[in-house]
Amino acid sequence: MNPRFSLTQRGRNALLAVLAGALLASGAAWRGLAAEAHPSATTASTVSTPIAHAIAGGRDSYADVVEVVSPTVVTVRAQGRARVSPTQLPFGDDDFFGQFFGNQGRGPRGQRQAPRTPRQNALGSGVVVTTDGYILTNNHVVDGADDVNVDFTDGQTLSAKIVGTDKASDLALLKVSGSNLKAIAIGNSDAVKVGDVVLAVGNPLNVGQTVTMGIISAKGRSTGVGDGSYEDFLQTDAPINHGNSGGALVNMKGELVGINSQILSESGGNIGIGFAIPANMAKHVMDDLRTKGKVTRAQLGVTVQGVTADMAQSLGLKQAGGAIISSVGDGSAAERGGLKRGDVIVSFNGQPVRDTNGLRNRVADAGPGSTADVAIIRDGGEKHLSIKLDEAGGERIARRGDGEERSSDKSALGVSVAPDKNGLVVEGVDPDGRAADAGIRAGDVIVEVNRQAVKSVDDLRAAIKKSSDKPTLLLISRNGNDVYLTVKPS
């Protein structure tokens, strides 16, 4: 025997003990495997089964809010004819080129025919605001439409009438024939705070009603897109896409706090920057359209600009903010109330003025004929003035669904104007109004009406009213040149 592998008796005993332990261990392991393969072969006392427990407290969900809001949000489908001008035809009226293109647009004998106007379809969303069928949506959803239908979540489709539109706020009011409809609760958008959780409900890209969640990212935003006259947007990162326009932005109580209106995106899709018209502004527009057929707003009659840090330092102000008056219209509410060029408006009816956009919206909402408390900084000191506001006139703010201007007189030219040292400067022109037909453009200054100088909106209205059924003669100053234009009677 090789001495390297020889064992003493004691060593043999130890080795046998180790081998016996290994055999016992392997047997136990085999029995364990067998028990897993055949549980019935073991007793209950040798098996341990883990039990999973659900988290107590119910689900973390917005389903209860959606259940209340969902039936009040509808899909709006609008159809209308696109406006085609002669310049959109390939070669206009040129008969020479027409020979080579089959004289398109001509009848069998060569007579010119009116071009066929293509139909355009628009898709958006809307919110039922009364149980008898009034629906808020965006003006750009139904602009130019002659046929509007509304799809409800229960599957029914109803024809809708356009009660009125307001381009300045991009809102429109529709009416369907119905009763006992589910209407949304309108909340107080002024109480909304940055960081509040909100849900956006609408029909994006025609995929069907969709709910998205986000927060209020900012307040008091102005984008300048579209008409841009009265903007006070709530900004949200709740995903909004094409088709969401006119839909609801709601808080966690299921209250309407905004009407979704715009997105900011280079691609055309959602990137987390969306804008909604505050519910308080929407309610004002809705109430005016229902009761008056038009939206009335107030004005001070001043031109203002924001106060920058450099301006604040120059004026000796403690901080930037407010609105500095650069001009005061003759005969305006501002002039009558004592406002002067160089005054800085720091509060309006007790609310701080942070920028020109906020000031304009507060003045507009105050209502014509109301008296406002205007706090100003003049010569380093604060002063309060009581000013009776004028109505923002000379502007076709709202129109009826049939295109008829709603005005108590014939002064509605379809322009928005502001007092200027030489007359009334045209700030905006309704493309469907009488002024546009006459060739009036934004930036023109109306100097005279029927050979009479005009310095205020009241002057303009009175002069046009005297025209009766005759064309109105306007003297316009444009780029330093004077030109006469005639406006046909309404």
Q: Which two tokens stand for residue 149?
A: 């239908």
User: Quick one: which of 386, 480, 396 has its CA closest to 435?
Assistant: 396
Q: Within 13 Å and on the Cβ side, how many CA atoms surround 263? A: 21
Is 179 annotated in the active site? no
Pairing state between β 185-186 and 423-429: unpaired
SS3 assignment, position 127 = strand
SS3 assignment, position 136 = strand
Q: Which listed residue (151, 166, 170, 444) is catalytic? A: 170
DSSP bridge pairs for 418: 425
Distances (CA, A) of 363 to 333, 487, 489: 12, 31, 32
Is 284 annotated in the active site? no
Q: Which listed residue (125, 140, 284, 288) is catalytic? A: 140
Helix orientation angle between 356-366 and 279-291, rounded to the nearest 10 degrees: 30
Beta strands (DSSP E) in 338-422 are: 344-348, 351-352, 371-378, 381-388, 390-391, 398-400, 415-420
List helix spans (H) across 338-478.
356-366, 434-438, 457-466
Q: Which listed residue (125, 169, 217, 245) is catalytic? A: 245
Is 245 annotated in the active site? yes
Long-range contacts: 485-490, Cβ < 8 Å, 24+? 485/438, 485/439, 485/440, 486/438, 487/413, 487/434, 487/435, 487/437, 487/438, 487/440, 488/434, 488/437, 488/438, 489/410, 490/405, 490/410, 490/412, 490/434
Maximal C-alpha separation, the chain: 140
Q: Which residues are catalytic?
A: 140, 170, 245
